[in-house]
């Protein structure tokens, strides 16, 4: 079957955030208790209860204000670090290309949280034990809540009033996105770009941007961390074979958990 | 809306002004986006850079309350360009379909902010006789189609707006001259016959002491540009609630009874007098003068209300219906002032939350304390229902008896909802309401049955008005029965009428609202139609639901064709006259289906043409004129008349001045919350998105005040103060007004002291003053001060 994808066209987005609400409604995720932190953006970050959120970025362009809106959610990579490192196969590729997630298989190791090049999966994890189940966008393929299998669009796409989100065969969306980018360049947006066509062997969430990916806070060359490659390619099989290596695993876990803690603290600092 | 939602997709230029359409009407951007991808230019004029501005090709900042200066400058630009480059405009439209060439009474004048006929003692234009046409011996207005007579409207318009030059407009509005010019050029480009420009507006336009004249200014511009009646054109009010159009159609406002017939007043003590007052006259054979039919609509409505108790001999029960005091004001502010004085002793508050939504919140909450009783019908216990236990109130000192009736939500009841495009769509009940909640029809019907039984048993003032009314809905009222009553019957045959053309003034027909006649006929419930096929080339979707009047999707559509009945814009034909078969094709033609294009197109006006000069009707002048808001940091640079001279000042002692309150305050909604907030602040998914009351402050002002984003601040006006989180932003730029830097701060008005998330209400700050015509409060422009909490 042809691979599917979501196309997010930032030039059509009005940041109404109906996608955020529709996602919570369909997936039964609860509203978070939040504060106004001096911005329209909320909740402050993705979480186990918030799988998609819009980032609001203010800037100035030629003396006038500019306001860009960026979707932040799982990119459903073809070369997916999370799938590589997941020891229990809770994370896997769907035949249509998206990265599915089965929480009943999740051991709560949290490696996916740490290795994702887009910093997307989140777990309410205990940073000492490292345990706590992950949660992320499944492109509406979660067991029991599978809209795609039932022939529907993902909930976020269905609710989008302006057509900023669309869901279709990936090849068609690449063509559409390319045409949109060409049109934007013709209108004078020289840096307009289609993001996700080739990144990580192709994302299943494509972005039409009227500027460079960096201007929207997206990494120009996302890569799967080398340690993830090593983990999946060498260490993990050995680990399965030799239970004794669990000690190594624990040590590694400790390092990773520390790294996660530091990076979270750094992120919190940046927000301030 | 003159047009409809889908039609926005036909526009070449879209001007959004006084509206944050992307945030408050997200679905509008379905069509705005489509138009833009076909090459349309989107212009947004707003004090703030909002989510709408983020998508616009041109954003022009403006000081709140100076729209007429901005638009007056555009009128001047267009008038001068029409003289220089008539080939870029639709001169046939201007000549034949507007009053540009019509001569105005020689006594008409304008001097230093005042039009002729002003009476300072009553703060009103008592004598509007000079705001009329010169007429010939036959009573037909005199015209100069060359627009050269100094008394013709085109010349008067040119003279009136001569003061609105770029420099002056920029000094008044704070809009940089370069931005003004960009907007004027872009929108004036829609004046070509093969181009279409639309204006979308909302409460940012109307909630001013000059709100109605702001809309009039749009009319003048759209008539000059030949944009009324065409596809992709029009003046389109984005209504703030899903059914507020329907509510207004069915007499939400005190000046009207259903179908926009004027409310009978003490000046019309008999039906004959009333009918005379609502029957405009014309001697001009080219004027259709549709309102000459209004007596049929009134008599048919009285028959719907009083049935067999309404007879020719008793003036169709006209004496049973209440009359307002001629000239009295029964608007929102007036009602609360009357409550405060104790004149009004009881109130039914239905799906409304004035304790949060009304202006001068402290005053209105206090006025509620004077009531003997209050019935609140709502989905939640709102701030209004709970006013007696609000923070700072002592329940022991408040004697008001409060009844809270739980109501069904929209998905829990059946009925019609009429959207901004005048489209009435029938909806079905999806689920049962929870607990004891009932739908509005059930509540109102049981209330009336009970009240009627009391009057029948005990009598009372004007008891017959209640006991004789037709009210036969039974224990479980059927909304279809009501819809049929609204549509109207031929009383001889008992059949539903096809539309209002069948209505009579002799008592042989009934009709609850002539505008909706045709919505539920012998062919069925037209509002329930769901045919998604479009048989036009311009997205009329005529078989999807039903719109008033008579399913006409674009009103004033006679103005879309030339004098031969051919569309000015062949690419986007709305209607076309088939001379051979003497009929119109396309959209439902605006009145008089067998009369060709010889008829003037604006059939609802007695003279039949579009009013560049507002003949007679407005309370505050035939041309829109700039006056400053009641509270303003600036003096009026266009005349020495500071405030709209016809606006009523309710509480002069509550006027804030710029020495104490130096910043312009304005209020608005955000996508994530709805109106007074009960519907959204009680929903965790929406509460998390916009969890706290906030105030938007520009970076420059925040820096001067030492305020950082996320800090708690206090915003004060002459009437109250609110605590809010500061959202410091690049999107509120300081403006240079008359040489001085002027800051604006913005507050959402969704918050209150009940519900899942709470916060201070912005309306504690807003003033008690309204528009001269409608008294809609000036929520959008007032003075505040800001300090760190």
Would you list the domain boundaries of chain A?
A: 1-272
Region B689-707: mean pLDDT is 98
pLDDT of amino acid A257: 63
Q: What is the pTM of this model?
A: 0.95
Helix (H, G, I), strand (E, B) or coil at B367: helix
Q: What is the dihedral of CA B375, B376, B377, B379, to 10 degrees?
A: -150
Region A77-99: mean pLDDT is 96
Region B733-750: mean pLDDT is 98
Within 10 angstroms of residue B554's Cβ, the number of other Cβ atoms is 30
Region A136-165: mean pLDDT is 97
CB-CB contact of B143 with B135 (8 Å): no
Domain span at residue B740 reads 652-788
- Examine the pLDDT at B672 and tell me if it is beyond 50: yes
pLDDT, tens digit, for every residue of B539-590? 999 999 999 999 999 999 999 999 999 999 999 999 999 999 999 999 999 9
* Between residues A272 and B315, the one the model is more confident about: B315
Q: Chain B contacts of A163, Cβ < 8 Å?
A: 30, 33
Interface test with B, best of A13, A23, A36 (most B CBs within 10 A): A36
- Examine the pLDDT at A272 and tell me if it is beyond 60: no
pLDDT of amino acid B353: 97
In degrees rounded to 5, what are phi and psi of residue B387? -60, -30
- Tell me how close the Cα of A67 comes to any Cα of chain B, in angstroms: 6
pLDDT of amino acid A259: 63
pLDDT of amino acid B94: 98
User: What whole-number percentage of chain B has pLDDT above 70?
Assistant: 100
- Examine the pLDDT at A50 and tell me if it is beyond 80: yes
Q: Chain B contacts of A35, Cβ < 8 Å?
A: 691-692, 725
B203 and B347 co-located in one domain: no
Residue B580 forms part of a structural domain: no
Q: What is the greatest pairwise CA distance in chain B?
A: 79
- The two beta strands, B118-119 and B124-125, are antiparallel
Q: Say which CATH topology domain A1-272 has.
A: Alpha-Beta Plaits (3.30.70)
Question: In the beta sheet, which residues pair with residue B350?
Answer: B377
- Examine the pLDDT at B284 and tell me if it is beyond 60: yes
For chain B, the C-alpha Rg in angstroms (whole number) is 26
Between B26, B683, B687, which is nearest A16 by CB? B26
Dig out the tokens for B369 from the structure. 């304390």
Question: In the beta sheet, which residues pair with residue B415?
Answer: B427
Using alpha carbons only, what angle is made at residue B609 by residues B607 and B614, rounded to the nearest 5 degrees? 80
pLDDT of amino acid A266: 58
Q: Chain B contacts of A32, Cβ < 8 Å?
A: 688
**B686 CB within 8 Å of a chain A CB:** yes
| Boundary-marking domain end, from B185, B210, B237 | B237
Q: Chain B contacts of A17, Cβ < 8 Å?
A: 671-672, 689
Interface test with A, best of B9, B16, B24, B26 (most A CBs within 10 A): B26
Residues near A266 by Cβ (< 8 Å), separated by ≥ 6? none
Confidence of residue B688 (pLDDT cuts 50, 70, 90): very high
Dig out the tokens for A121 from the structure. 């999966």
Taking Cα atoms as reference points, which of B763, B768, B752, B769 lies closest to residue B665? B763
- What's the total number of domains in chain B? 3
Q: Which residue has the tokens 């036959």?
A: B138
For chain A, the C-alpha Rg in angstroms (whole number) is 19
pLDDT of amino acid A228: 79
User: In sequence order, which ranges of B722-786 are alpha helices (DSSP H)?
Assistant: none
| Boundary-marking domain end, from B464, B496, B531 | B464
Please judge whether A14 and B27 are an interchain contact, meaning their C-beta atoms are less than 8 angstroms apart. Answer: no
Between A31, A58, A67, which is nearest B688 by CB? A31
Confidence of residue A1 (pLDDT cuts 50, 70, 90): confident
- Tell me how close the Cα of B58 comes to any Cα of chain A, in angstroms: 10
User: What whole-number percentage of chain A has pLDDT above 90?
Assistant: 72
Region B205-215: mean pLDDT is 98
Between A31, A39, A161, which is nearest B685 by CB? A31
- In chain B, how many H helices and how many E strands? 21, 32
> Which element (helix H / strand E) includes A133?
none
Q: Residue B69 is part of a domain; what is its CATH number?
A: 3.40.228.10
B167 and B44 co-located in one domain: yes
CB-CB contact of B702 with B726 (8 Å): yes
Between A17, A20, A161, which is nearest B30 by CB? A161
Please judge whether A36 and B727 are an interchain contact, meaning their C-beta atoms are less than 8 angstroms apart. Answer: yes
**B76 CB within 8 Å of a chain A CB:** no
Please judge whether A38 and B728 are an interchain contact, meaning their C-beta atoms are less than 8 angstroms apart. Answer: yes
pLDDT of amino acid B782: 98
DSSP result, A141-159: --TT--TTTTTPPPHHHHH
DSSP state of A205: E
- Tell me how close the Cα of A9 comes to any Cα of chain B, in angstroms: 11
pLDDT of amino acid B248: 96
- Examine the pLDDT at A41 and tell me if it is beyond 90: yes
- Give the count of Cβ contacts less than 8 A between chain A and B: 107
Please judge whether B59 and A64 are an interchain contact, meaning their C-beta atoms are less than 8 angstroms apart. Answer: yes
Residue B572 forms part of a structural domain: no
B214 and B343 co-located in one domain: no
A132-136, B157-161, B289-293: least confidently modelled range? A132-136
Distance separating alpha carbons of residues A253 and A247, to the nearest angstrom: 10
- Tell me how close the Cα of B665 comes to any Cα of chain A, in angstroms: 18
Dig out the tokens for B48 from the structure. 């703030």
Q: What is the mean pLDDT of chain A?
A: 88
- For the four alpha carbons of B255, B257, B259 and B262, in that order, the dihedral sign comes to negative
| Boundary-marking domain end, from B207, B237, B267 | B237
Region A117-134: mean pLDDT is 76
Dig out the tokens for A183 from the structure. 């049109």
pLDDT, tens digit, for every residue of B166-205? 999 999 999 999 999 999 999 999 999 999 999 999 999 9
pLDDT of amino acid B471: 96
pLDDT of amino acid A252: 63
Q: Which residue of A has its CA nearest to B20?
A: A14
User: What whole-number percentage of chain A has pLDDT above 70?
Assistant: 82
Q: Residue B713 is part of a domain; what is its CATH number?
A: 2.40.40.20
- Examine the pLDDT at A267 and tell me if it is beyond 60: no
pLDDT of amino acid B703: 98
Q: Chain B contacts of A34, Cβ < 8 Å?
A: 687-689, 691
pLDDT of amino acid B278: 97
Please judge whether B709 and A37 are an interchain contact, meaning their C-beta atoms are less than 8 angstroms apart. Answer: yes
Using alpha carbons only, what angle is made at residue B80 by residues B74 and B84, rounded to the nearest 5 degrees? 135
Dig out the tokens for B174 from the structure. 């704070």
Interface test with A, best of B49, B691, B724, B789 (most A CBs within 10 A): B691
CB-CB contact of B733 with B61 (8 Å): yes
Distance separating alpha carbons of residues A40 and A23, to the nearest angstrom: 19
Confidence of residue B617 (pLDDT cuts 50, 70, 90): confident
Distance separating alpha carbons of residues B3 and B197, to the nearest angstrom: 12
pLDDT, tens digit, for every residue of A190-246? 999 999 999 999 999 999 999 999 999 999 999 998 887 776 666 665 555 655 555
What is the length of chain B? 789
Interface test with B, best of A21, A32, A40, A58 (most B CBs within 10 A): A40
**B652 CB within 8 Å of a chain A CB:** no
- Tell me how close the Cα of B59 comes to any Cα of chain A, in angstroms: 8
B232 and B347 co-located in one domain: no
Burial A192-230 (b: 16+ CB within 10 A, else e): bbbbbbebbebbbbbbbbbbebebbebeeebebeebbbe
């Amino acid at each position: 079957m042809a691979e599917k994808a979501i196309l997010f066209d930032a030039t059509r987005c009005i940041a109404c955030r109906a996608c955020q609400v529709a996602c919570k409604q369909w997936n039964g995720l609860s509203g978070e208790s939040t504060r106004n932190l001096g911005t329209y953006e909320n909740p402050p970050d993705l979480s186990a209860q918030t799988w998609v959120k819009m980032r609001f970025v203010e800037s100035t362009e030629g003396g006038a204000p500019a306001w860009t809106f960026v979707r932040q959610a799982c990119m459903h990579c073809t070369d997916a670090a999370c799938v590589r490192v997941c020891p229990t196969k809770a994370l896997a590729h769907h035949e249509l290309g998206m990265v599915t997630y089965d929480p009943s298989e999740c051991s709560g190791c949290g490696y996916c949280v740490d290795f994702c090049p887009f910093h997307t999966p989140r777990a309410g994890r205990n940073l000492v034990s490292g345990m706590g189940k992950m949660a992320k966008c499944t492109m509406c393929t979660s067991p029991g809540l599978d809209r795609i299998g039932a022939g529907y669009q993902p909930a976020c796409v269905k609710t989008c009033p302006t057509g900023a989100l669309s869901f279709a065969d990936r090849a068609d969306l690449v063509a559409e996105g390319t045409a949109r980018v060409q049109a934007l360049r013709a209108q004078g947006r020289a840096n307009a770009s289609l993001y996700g066509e080739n990144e990580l062997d192709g994302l299943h969430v494509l972005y039409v941007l009227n500027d460079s990916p960096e201007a929207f806070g997206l990494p120009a060359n996302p890569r799967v961390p080398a340690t993830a490659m090593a983990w999946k390619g060498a260490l993990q099989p050995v680990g399965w074979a030799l239970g004794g290596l669990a000690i190594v695993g624990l040590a590694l876990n400790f390092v990773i958990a520390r790294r996660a803690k530091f990076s979270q603290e750094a992120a919190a600092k940046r927000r301030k | 809306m003159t047009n409809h939602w889908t039609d926005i997709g036909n526009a070449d230029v879209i001007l959004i002004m006084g509206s944050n359409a992307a945030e408050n009407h997200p679905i509008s951007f379905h069509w705005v986006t489509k138009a833009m991808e076909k090459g349309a230019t989107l212009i947004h004029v707003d004090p703030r850079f909002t989510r709408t501005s983020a998508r616009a090709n041109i954003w022009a900042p403006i000081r709140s309350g100076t729209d007429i200066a901005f638009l007056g400058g555009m009128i001047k630009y267009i008038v001068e360009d029409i003289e220089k480059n008539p080939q870029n405009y639709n001169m046939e439209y201007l000549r034949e379909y507007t009053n540009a060439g019509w001569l105005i009474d020689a006594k008409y004048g304008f001097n230093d902010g005042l039009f002729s006929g002003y009476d300072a003692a009553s703060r009103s234009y008592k004598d509007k006789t000079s705001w009329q046409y010169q007429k010939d011996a036959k009573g037909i207005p005199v015209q100069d189609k060359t627009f050269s007579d100094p008394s013709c409207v085109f010349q008067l318009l040119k003279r009136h707006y001569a003061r609105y030059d770029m420099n002056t407009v920029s000094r008044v509005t704070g809009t940089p001259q370069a931005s003004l010019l960009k907007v004027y050029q872009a929108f004036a480009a829609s004046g070509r016959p093969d181009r279409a420009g639309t204006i979308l507006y909302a409460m940012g336009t109307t909630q001013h002491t000059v709100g109605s004249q702001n809309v009039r200014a749009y009319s003048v511009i759209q008539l000059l540009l030949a944009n009324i009646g065409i596809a992709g054109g029009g003046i389109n009010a984005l209504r703030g609630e899903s059914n507020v159009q329907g509510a207004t159609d069915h007499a939400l406002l005190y000046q009207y009874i259903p179908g926009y017939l004027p409310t009978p007043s003490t000046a019309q003590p008999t039906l004959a007098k009333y009918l005379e007052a609502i029957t405009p006259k014309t001697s001009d054979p080219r004027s259709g003068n549709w309102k000459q039919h209004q007596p049929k609509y009134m008599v048919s409505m009285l028959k719907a209300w009083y049935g067999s108790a309404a007879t020719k001999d008793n003036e169709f029960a006209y004496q049973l219906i209440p009359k307002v005091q001629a000239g009295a004001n029964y608007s929102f502010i007036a009602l609360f002032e009357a409550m405060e004085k104790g004149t009004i002793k009881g109130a039914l508050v239905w799906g409304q939350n004035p304790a949060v939504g009304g202006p001068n919140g402290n005053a209105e909450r206090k006025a509620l304390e004077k009531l003997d009783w209050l019935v609140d019908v709502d989905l939640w216990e709102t701030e209004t229902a709970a006013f007696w236990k609000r923070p700072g109130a002592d329940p022991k000192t408040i004697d008001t008896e409060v009844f809270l009736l739980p109501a069904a939500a929209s998905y829990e009841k059946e009925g019609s909802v009429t959207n901004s495009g005048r489209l009435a769509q029938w909806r079905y009940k999806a689920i049962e309401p929870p607990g004891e909640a009932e739908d509005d029809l059930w509540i109102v019907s049981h209330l009336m049955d009970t009240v009627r039984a009391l009057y029948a048993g005990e009598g009372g003032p004007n008891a017959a008005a209640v006991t004789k009314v037709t009210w036969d809905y039974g224990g479980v009222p059927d909304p279809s029965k009501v819809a049929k009553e609204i549509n109207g019957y031929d009383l001889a045959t008992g059949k539903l009428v096809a539309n209002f053309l069948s209505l009579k003034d002799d008592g042989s027909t009934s009709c609850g609202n002539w505008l909706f006649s045709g919505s539920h006929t012998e062919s069925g419930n037209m509002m329930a139609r769901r045919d998604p096929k479009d048989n036009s080339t311009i997205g009329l979707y005529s078989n999807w639901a039903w719109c008033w009047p008579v399913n006409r999707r674009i009103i004033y559509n006679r103005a879309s064709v030339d004098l031969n009945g051919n569309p000015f814009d062949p690419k986007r034909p709305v209607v076309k006259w088939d001379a051979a078969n003497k009929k119109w094709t396309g959209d439902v033609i605006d009145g008089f289906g067998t009369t060709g294009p010889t008829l003037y197109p604006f059939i609802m006006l007695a003279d039949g043409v579009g009013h560049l000069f507002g003949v007679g009707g407005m309370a505050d002048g035939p041309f829109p004129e700039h006056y400053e808001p009641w509270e303003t940091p600036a003096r009026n640079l266009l005349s020495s008349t500071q405030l709209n001279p016809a606006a009523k000042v309710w509480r002069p002692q509550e006027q804030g001045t710029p020495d104490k309150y130096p910043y312009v305050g304005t209020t608005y909604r955000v996508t994530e919350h709805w109106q007074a907030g009960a519907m959204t602040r009680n929903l965790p998914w929406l509460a998390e998105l916009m969890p706290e009351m906030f105030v938007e402050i520009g970076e420059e002002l925040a820096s001067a005040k030492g305020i950082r984003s996320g800090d708690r601040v206090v915003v004060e006006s002459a009437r109250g103060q609110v605590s809010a989180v500061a959202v410091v932003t690049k999107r509120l730029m300081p403006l240079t007004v008359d040489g001085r830097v002027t800051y604006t701060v913005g507050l959402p008005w969704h918050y209150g002291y009940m519900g899942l998330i709470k916060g201070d209400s912005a309306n504690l700050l807003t003033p008690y003053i309204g528009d001269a015509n409608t008294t809609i409060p000036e929520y959008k422009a007032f003075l505040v001060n800001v300090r760190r909490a």
